[in-house]
Amino acid sequence: MSTDPAAEYREVAATFTARVDGVPADGWDVPTPVAEWQARDVVAHLIEWLPQVLGAPVADVPSVADDPAAAWHAHTAGVQQLLDDPERSAAPVSNPHFGEMSTAQVIDMIYTPDVFLHTWDLARATGQDDRLDPVRLAAGHAASQQSEEAMRSSGQFGPRVPVPADADLQDQVIGFIGRDPAWQPPTR
């Protein structure tokens, strides 16, 4: 786990990108652990909300409806270029929910963890390896415990899904963010 936002995003996005690349051409319409989302909706969510928060487009992205993988590749390249540019990554972003901080801080604090967690959604939905990095899980779990009220009140997280007391850390985190760690895609 890196303390440099550009390096951290590069590592997290690489895993998500591998899962995107692992979705078969006919696999983009499968349901996901996020109620009412299909696999392509996970990609669309990650592409659509960041420019809204930053107040500017990140990249010229093809249609997710036509080609989710191409859309993700264009978007993630744009995010990485933004983070690798000292001037653009230092640009201030103002938001009523978090105040003012640099673009790199916003991405590091909010976006990179979202990409990390949605890796599980996409992987689980499409039958790929859904194991998440345990160091990032532990760090995210510790941070989220301190801000649970703010997270829940944002409307971005569902109610906590109960897990057994002896559940592993990944299942605890997945349950915490409102997903059922035992969720399986329906059989085709």
For residue range 56-79, list pLDDT tens digits in order.
999 999 999 999 999 999 999 999
Mean pLDDT of the chain: 92
Quote the tokens at residue 169. 């850390």
DSSP bridge pairs for 99? 95
CA proximity to 57, closest of 42, 79, 38, 35: 79
> Which of 52-61, 127-136, 153-162 has the lowest average pLDDT?
153-162
Q: What is the DSSP string of 20-73?
A: HHTS-TT-TTSB-SSTT-BHHHHHHHHHHHHHHHHTS--S----TTT-HHHHHH
DSSP designation for 133: -
Q: What is the pTM of this model?
A: 0.93
**CA distances for 151 relative to 19, 24, 107, 177, 186, angstroms:** 26, 33, 17, 9, 29
For residue range 8-62, list pLDDT tens digits in order.
999 999 999 999 999 999 999 999 999 899 999 999 999 999 999 999 999 999 9
Q: Which domains does the chain have, with CATH numbers?
A: 5-132 (1.20.120)
List CB contacts of 51: < 8 A, sequence separation 6 or more. Answer: 57, 58
Cβ atoms of 2 and 8 within 8 Å: the answer is yes
Quote the tokens at residue 12. 């997290």
**pLDDT band per the 50, 70, 90 thresholds, residue 175:** very high
